[in-house]
Structure 1
Amino acid sequence: MTRLIFSFAALLLFCGSTLTADEPIRHSFFVAGPNFTGIIDEDGKRAWDAGRPAARDGWVLPSGNLLIVWKNHVQELTRDKQVVFEYKLAAPNKELGTAQRLDNGNTLITELGTKPRLLEVTPSGEIAVDVPLKPETDNAHMQTRMARKLANGNYLAPHLLAFKVKEYTPAGKVVRVIATDLESLGGKAAENWPFTAITLPGGNVLVNLTHGNKTVEFSPQGEVVWSVSNEDFSNNPFDDSCGAQRLPNGNTVIASYHAKKGIKLTEVNRDKQIVWTFTGPERAHHFQILTTNGKPIQGKPLK
C-alpha cells in the first residue's frame, strides 16, 4: 500500500502553476518527530536522516543546512551532519521548545523551566536578547512551543495551559493577547491549547489548538475568521494538532502528533476540503513543506 494518499481538487494553484484534477499533489518535507527527524521526498521515502529522532522544531535553511531543536540543544547541521551552530540548554531550565533563524543572523530559541524565556543567540553563541515569558504555569513542558519573531521586532508566543497567545516586546511586556478558550470554540473544556502561532500576510494569526484538534485563523484582535476541525469531517483526520504551515496557495497543512497509525499530515484548502495527506510511519511534531510536484515552495515558509 502506498505511503502517500492523495485527494484531488478541481483546480489548485502553486508557485504560479496550475495543478489539474488528473495531477495528484506530491510534497517533500522536513519532519521533526518522535520516531524520525529528517527529510521525506515526494515519493514518501526518507531522503535525509538527522541520525536521531525526537526533535521538537526544525527548518531547512536557504543554505540547505538544517536547524533542528532537540530537548537540550539546538544545532545547525550541514547535509553531511557537521555542526556549524549549537546552543545548549542553560541551567536551571528543563528543556528547549523551538528555534527560528532570523534575518539578522541570530537564532530565536525558547527555554522552558523555572526561568521561561525567549532568547536571541548570535552566530557565535552569545545571548543578544533575553525576553522573560509569562506562561502562567510552572509545568515546564507545557509553558510554550512555537514562538516566532514579528516584523515589528516583538515576539509571538503560544502558552498552552494559559489558553493564550501573547505578543511580547523585547523588554518582556505583553502588548497583545489572543485567547483560545473562547466559548465559540468550546471554552476551556475543549482543551484548545495553542501550539503554533503563525503570523500571516495581512496580520491574521494562524493557531493550531492541540487537544482541541482545531486550526483557527484569528484576526489581529483575536476574532475567529476561519477554522477547521474534526467536526468538519467524518473521518476525524486531526489527532493532537501540533505543527502547521500555511502554503503560498492558501492551503493549510496540519500535523497530527498523536497519530501512530493513519494520517500524520493533512492539507486542507479554504473550503475545508482535504487535498493531500501523508500516512507514512514518520510522526510529525512540526514540519516544513519543501516542494510540491518538483517545485520548491516560494518565499519564507509560514510555519
Structure 2
Amino acid sequence: MFSFLRIGLLALIFSASVIAGEETTHRILVSGCGLGQIAIIGPNQETEWSIPFQDEVSDAVLLPNGNILHSVKKEGIREIKPDYAAGKGAETVWQWSPPLKDGKRGETHSCQPLPGNRILTGESFDNLSVIREIDRATGDILKTVELRDLGNAHGTFRQIRKTPQGTYLITQQKNGGKAMEFDENGKLVRAFPDGRYTAVRLPNGNTLTACGDMHRLLELSPDGNIVWEVGQTDIPGVTLGFVAGIQRLPNGNTILCNWGGHGHTSGPAVLEITPDKKLVWSLTPRIQNRVSSIQILDPEVMKQQPLR
C-alpha cells in the first residue's frame, strides 16, 4: 500500500511540475534579408517547409488558403503555393510588379493583405515612395498615395501597414529613421520618434515600432508618449542589433526579430519577451540571425490576427 501511494504521489508531483514548467513553443513563418530562404519552422524548431530565396524578402504572410504572399525587393509581390507534402519548393500562382519609373523599378519590401481581396504594398525610388492598394485577383491598382523626400530607394520603406482607422503607418530605414502616419490622401498625421523597419497599430490604440539600427523597440500612446521601451541590452544575455519584424501576441508578450546583418548583435534571431522584458522563447541557434519578417502561425494567434 505504501509503495502504491508513494508512486502515485511522485507521479502527481511530476505531472504538476511539467504543467508548471510547460515550454513555450511556436509555429512560425520566417523570411529576411540574407536568410536565403522562406521557411515554416515547427514547434519542435525543425523546418517543416522551405524554399531557397536569395533576394531580400522583407515581408511574408500565410494566407487563409495556405498560400504564402511575400515581397520581392527587385520584383514586387508574389503569391506561392508551397509543396507541403514534399516539405520544400512552391509553385508561383500569382505575381505583381509595380510600374516602371523612368525605365527603372523601385524597391518593394511590403505586402499586407486587406479586406475585400486587396493588398497593401509600397515601392521606393530616390525621393519618391508610393503606397498602393491593389486588387489581388486582377492586379489592378485601386489606390495610389505618393510621398516625396523621404530618402533614397533603399533607405525608405520597409514594412508598411494600414491601420483600422484607415491611415497608413510607414517607415524610413535611413534618412532620419522615423515611422510616420499618413491619412488616406497622403497628409502627414504624425511622426514617431523612431521606427526604421515597421510600425504596428495595437488593439489598445498604441503603436509598436521596430527601430532598426537604433537597437530598440518602442510602444507609444496615441498622444506620442513612450509607454514601453526595450533597449539594446535590456534582455539578459541578448544584445539587440537591427530590430526588424515584430508581433504583439494575445497574451501580451512581444515577438521581435533580432537581425544581425549590420552587426552589434548577439543572441537568437527571434525572441519572445514578456511586458517586464523576460525572455520566454527564442529561435534555435541553427537559424542564423538574418530573420527580418515573422508571422506566428499558432491557431490561437491566427484566430485573432488572421491577416496580421
Unpaired runs of 5+ residues, structure 2, are 1-17, 84-89
Work out the CA distance in 2 between the residues paired with 1:235 and 1:302.
33
User: Which of 158, 178, 193 does residue 164 from structure 1 map onto?
Assistant: 178
Counterpart of 2:155? 142
Of structures 1 and 2, the larger Rg is shown by: 2
Once the two structures are superposed, residues 165-206 of structure 1 have per-residue CA deviations (whole angstroms, 9 ceiling, x without a partner) of: 2222222111222222xxxxxxxxxxxx52110100021000
Once the two structures are superposed, residues 20-68 of structure 1 have per-residue CA deviations (whole angstroms, 9 ceiling, x without a partner) of: 4321111110001222212111111111113424311100112211011
Counterpart of 2:80? 77
- 1:176 counterpart = 2:176: no
Work out the CA distance in 2 between the residues paired with 1:265 and 1:23.
20
Percent of aligned positions that are identical: 29
Counterpart of 2:200? 198
Counterpart of 2:37? 36
Counterpart of 1:186? none
More helix by share: 2
Counterpart of 1:88? 97
Counterpart of 2:296? 289
Which is further off, 194-203 or 44-53? Answer: 44-53
Work out the CA distance in 2 between the residues paired with 1:154 and 1:281.
35
* CA positional deviation for 1:83: 2.5
SS of 2:233 mapped into structure 1? helix
Counterpart of 2:117? 105
Once the two structures are superposed, residues 256-296 of structure 1 have per-residue CA deviations (whole angstroms, 9 ceiling, x without a partner) of: 111697410011001111101112224311111112xx866
Paired residue type of 1:156: L
TM-score by length of 1: 0.82
User: Which of 266, 271, 281 does residue 276 from structure 1 map onto?
Assistant: 281
TM-score by length of 2: 0.81
Aligned-residue CA RMSD (Å):
2.2
Count of equivalent residues: 270
Pair 296,248 (structure 1): closer, same or farther in 2 beyond 3 Å? closer
Counterpart of 2:237? 235
Paired residue type of 1:266: L
**2:58 and 2:159 in contact (8 A); partners too:** no
Q: How does 1:123-138 map to 2 (within 5 A)?
A: 123=136, 124-134=138-148, 136-137=150-151
**1:117 and 1:132 in contact (8 A); partners too:** yes
Pair 277,301 (structure 1): closer, same or farther in 2 beyond 3 Å? farther
Work out the CA distance in 2 between the residues paired with 1:77 and 1:302.
16
Q: Which structure is richer in relative contact order (CA contacts within 8 A, separation 6 or more)?
A: 1
**1:247 and 1:302 in contact (8 A); partners too:** no
Counterpart of 2:9? none
* CA positional deviation for 1:150: 1.3
Work out the CA distance in 1 between the residues paired with 2:167 and 2:122.
14
**2:111 and 2:119 in contact (8 A); partners too:** yes
User: Which of 15, 38, 62 does residue 60 from structure 1 map onto?
Assistant: 62
Pair 64,274 (structure 1): closer, same or farther in 2 beyond 3 Å? same
